């Protein structure tokens, strides 16, 4: 079954069918959008695949249904089809069993996600989409090169590469997958492209691309300790960038980097706790991150504003959106009784048991940054705090489908937090994080109290400012092109100088060959013979001819003498 028809193919086919359904048959299109993820969920549960694949398949199918409801009112067939095909391609990567299957659906996923970005039909979206496509083509080519090496070596099925040789295939595949997981320094495509995509498209992209990368890292590179350094750095770096960000969707995009950092660090630790922690956090992240993006989309649609500095007082005007956002923002920070707390418990236990205390400390610091940049910052400045800017809006403008989608995802955050064994039971090893121990709860409450006090003390500094936040990509988007241009100009000048010098050398050498006396005159200072008038001296024409004949006879007799002596 899984080799013949992968669960993701259902979504891919339905996405293509959406293109054929005319606008006057909107109900048929909506029926397809709901039916496709429902059938995909059934296919996942009956696939007979491994626990890791089923776990990711379940959450991907669920968020596909939520995304379909969120876009229920959207009439753009192109956008809806791209999103549905993209979701199907992502699920197909999860259920791929051979390298060929993986690369085919990997590239389809990249193309479909690019189409989602450009479906916004804005100049900024087209530019961001082009950069997005270029980056993912780089990642796809790296992955393809590694896969070709594996095929040449005779390996056709997907296997864990951690225990094998760290050859060229290992590093190429790792680089390709890590780029999709937004591992720095090639991570800026998230904050660049996601804010330019349509509102519903951002929900899909925030749920699939990096999580597929995490899935592949778990399946292929679990226990690779090099990734631990990248993971901890990602967790802290993403939270710090989000703390400075003013744009809502850019802020959440940076938090994708931060949250994926937890997953990368966990899978790098390896073992049952580490792998289960990475998988559980990916599962939970899709729920609360999807809710955050959906709430941001609702706010931007209703107010027409996307900057935090231009928003305020929305808690009273959009109470349902505010409630869903509050749940998701507390979940991402790891509040008890919400799903983020459940999966973070596994990760922190894995870090503690590994004895790598700097990693444990780094992840705790990232948790503080997450709490301050999302839970406190946005809830205060956008929803509940005092603000001089309060847009005149009404939540009635939010479509019913979007409210239903936000409510489903937020409810999922609560259910998975109250019933942690549901998530633990889906993980590959079934690890129990024992989240509700006194130590765990006390530790997180102390952390939250300290972060809350720091936020209030530096409230003026926490206020978002309408300034540009420079990222690592500035280095290869500004100085690097200038450096390459400088090197290109200098190398071209050097090439021209060398070419001109060689040309002069060849010309001078040719002149010496034609007239060796010139060389003697220039080297030894010999005087140039006085020119003679050939009309007054008959020897001028005769001497060269006689000299040549003389030399010819000498050579001829020398050859005859040489042949005669050899015969003798």
Same domain, 291 and 423: yes
The reply to whether 237 and 304 lie within a common domain is: yes
Integer angstrom CA distances of residue 221 from 64, 176, 228, 414, 469: 27, 12, 11, 31, 33
pLDDT computed for residue 358 by the predictor: 93
| 290 contacts 70 by C-beta, under 8 angstroms | no
Do 157 and 85 share a structural domain?
yes
**Given this model, what pLDDT does residue 515 score?**
66
Residues 532 and 420 in one domain: no
Report residue 298 as tokens. Answer: 């609702």
Length of the chain: 568
pLDDT of res. 500: 81
**Among 214-223, 224-233, 316-325, 558-567, where is mean pLDDT lowest?**
558-567
Confidence at residue 25, expressed as pLDDT on a 0 to 100 scale = 83
The predicted pLDDT at position 541 comes to: 47
Same domain (yes/no): 406, 257: yes
Residue 519 has pLDDT above 80, yes or no: no
In a domain, 327, yes or no: yes
pLDDT tier for residue 247 given thresholds of 50, 70 and 90: confident
Q: Render pLDDT for 11-63 as a digit per residue (tens, 0 to 9).
A: 999 999 988 888 788 888 888 889 999 999 999 999 888 999 999 999 999 99
Let me know if residue 484 belongs to a domain: no
Say yes or no: 46 and 90 in one domain.
yes
Residues 508 and 451 both lie in one domain: no
SS3 (DSSP) at 98: strand
The C-alpha torsion from 500 through 501 and 502 to 508, rounded to 10°, is: 110
In the predicted structure, residue 540 carries a pLDDT above the cut 50: no
Q: What is the pLDDT of residues 250-290, one digit of tens each?
A: 899 999 999 999 999 999 998 999 999 999 999 999 999 99
For residues 420 and 169, give the distance between their C-alpha atoms in angstroms, rounded to a whole number: 38
Residue 503 resides in a domain: yes
Q: Is residue 488 part of a domain?
A: no
Judge whether 565 lies within some domain: no
Q: What is the DSSP letter of 437?
A: S
Domain boundary among 212, 235, 269: 212
Residue 505's pLDDT band (boundaries 50, 70, 90)?
Answer: confident
Q: What is the pLDDT of residue 529?
A: 58
From residue 553, alpha-carbon distances to 218, 393, 444, 559, 566 in Å are 87, 111, 107, 10, 20
518 & 548 share domain: yes
Find the domain containing 501 and state its range: 495-552
Under the banding of pLDDT at 50, 70 and 90, the label for residue 546 is: low
Is there a single domain that holds both residue 332 and residue 409?
yes
Determine, yes or no, domain membership for 478. Answer: no
So what's the pLDDT on residue 479? Answer: 72
Average pLDDT, the chain: 86
Predicted confidence (pLDDT) at residue 150 exceeds the cutoff of 90? yes
Q: What does each C-alpha distance from 261 to 181, 420, 475 come to in angstroms? A: 9, 22, 22
Same domain, 135 and 203: yes
The one-character DSSP state at 396 is: G
pLDDT of res. 474: 64
The tens digit of pLDDT for each residue in 52-92 reads: 999 999 999 999 999 999 998 888 889 999 999 999 999 99
Say whether pLDDT at 141 is over 80. Answer: yes
pLDDT at 212 exceeding the cut of 70: yes
pLDDT digits (tens, 9 = 90+) for 328-348: 999 999 999 999 999 999 999
**pLDDT (0 to 100) of residue 516:** 66
- Residue 247 pairs in a beta bridge with 307
pLDDT for 524: 61
Are residues 204 and 116 in contact, defined by beta-carbon separation less than 8 angstroms? yes
Number of domains in the chain: 3
Residue 43: per-residue pLDDT: 94
Residue 480, in any domain of the structure: no
**Domain's final residue, options 180, 212, 244:** 212
My answer on whether 456 and 501 are in the same domain is no
Which residues share a beta bridge with 98? 157
Instruction: State mean pLDDT over 175-202.
Output: 87
Mapping DSSP to helix (H, G, I), strand (E, B) and coil, where does residue 173 land? helix
Q: Which of 427, 448, 467 is the last residue in one of the domains? A: 467
* pLDDT value at 107 more than 90: yes
194 and 313 part of one domain: no
Q: How does residue 512 score in pLDDT terms, banded at 50, 70 and 90?
A: low
Decide if 199 is inside a domain: yes
8 A C-beta contact, residue 389 and residue 309: yes
Q: Which pLDDT band, with edges at 50, 70 and 90, does 458 fall under? A: confident
């Amino acid at each position: 079954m899984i080799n013949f028809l992968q669960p993701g193919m259902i979504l891919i086919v339905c996405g293509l069918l959406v293109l054929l359904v005319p606008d006057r048959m909107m109900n048929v299109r909506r029926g397809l959008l709901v039916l496709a993820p429902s059938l995909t969920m059934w296919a996942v549960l009956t696939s007979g695949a491994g626990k890791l694949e089923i776990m990711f398949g379940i959450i991907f199918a669920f968020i596909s249904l939520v995304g379909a409801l969120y876009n229920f009112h959207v009439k753009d067939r192109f956008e809806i089809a791209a999103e549905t095909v993209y979701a199907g391609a992502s699920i197909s990567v999860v259920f791929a069993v051979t390298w060929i299957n993986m690369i085919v659906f990997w590239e389809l996923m990249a193309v479909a996600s690019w189409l989602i970005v450009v479906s916004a039909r804005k100049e900024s979206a087209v530019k961001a989409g082009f950069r997005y496509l270029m980056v993912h083509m780089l990642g796809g080519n790296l992955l393809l090169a590694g896969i070709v090496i594996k095929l040449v070596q005779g390996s056709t099925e997907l296997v864990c590469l951690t225990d094998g040789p760290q050859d060229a295939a290992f590093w190429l595949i790792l680089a390709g997958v890590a780029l999709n997981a937004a591992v720095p320094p090639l991570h800026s495509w998230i904050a660049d492209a996601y804010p330019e995509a349509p509102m519903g498209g951002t929900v899909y992209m925030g749920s699939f691309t990096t999580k597929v990368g995490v899935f592949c890292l778990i399946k292929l590179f679990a226990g690779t300790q090099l990734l631990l350094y990248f993971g901890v750095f990602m967790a802290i770096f993403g939270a710090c960038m989000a703390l400075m960000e003013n744009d809502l969707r850019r802020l959440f995009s940076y938090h994708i980097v931060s949250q994926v950092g937890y997953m990368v660090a966990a899978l790098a630790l390896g073992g049952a706790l580490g792998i289960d922690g990475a998988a559980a956090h990916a599962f939970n992240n899709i729920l609360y991150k999807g809710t955050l993006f959906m709430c941001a989309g609702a706010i931007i649609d209703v107010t027409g504003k996307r900057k935090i500095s231009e928003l305020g007082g929305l808690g009273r005007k959009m109470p349902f959106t505010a409630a869903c956002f509050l749940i998701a923002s507390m979940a991402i920070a790891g509040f008890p009784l919400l799903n983020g707390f459940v999966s973070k418990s596994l990760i922190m236990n894995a870090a503690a048991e590994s004895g790598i205390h700097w990693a444990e400390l780094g992840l705790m610091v990232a948790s503080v940054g997450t709490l301050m940049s999302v839970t406190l910052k946005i809830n205060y400045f956008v929803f509940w705090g005092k603000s001089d800017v309060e847009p005149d809006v009404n939540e009635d403008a939010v479509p019913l489908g979007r409210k239903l989608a936000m409510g489903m995802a937020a409810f999922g955050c609560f259910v998975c937090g109250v019933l942690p064994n549901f998530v633990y039971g889906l993980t590959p090893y079934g690890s129990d994080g024992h989240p509700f121990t006194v130590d765990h709860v006390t530790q997180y409450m102390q952390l939250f109290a300290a972060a809350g006090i720091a936020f209030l003390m530096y409230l003026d500094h926490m206020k978002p400012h309408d300034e540009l936040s420079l990222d690592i990509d500035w280095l290869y988007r500004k100085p690097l092109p200038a450096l390459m241009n400088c090197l290109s100009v200098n190398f071209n000048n050097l090439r021209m100088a060398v070419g001109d010098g060689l040309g002069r050398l060849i010309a001078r050498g040719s002149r010496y060959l034609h007239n060796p006396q010139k060389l003697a005159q220039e080297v030894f200072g010999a005087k140039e013979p006085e020119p003679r008038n050939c009309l007054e001296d008959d020897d001028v024409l005769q001497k060269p001819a006689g000299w040549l004949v003389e030399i010819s006879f000498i050579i001829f007799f020398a050859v005859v003498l040489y042949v005669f002596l050899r015969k003798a």
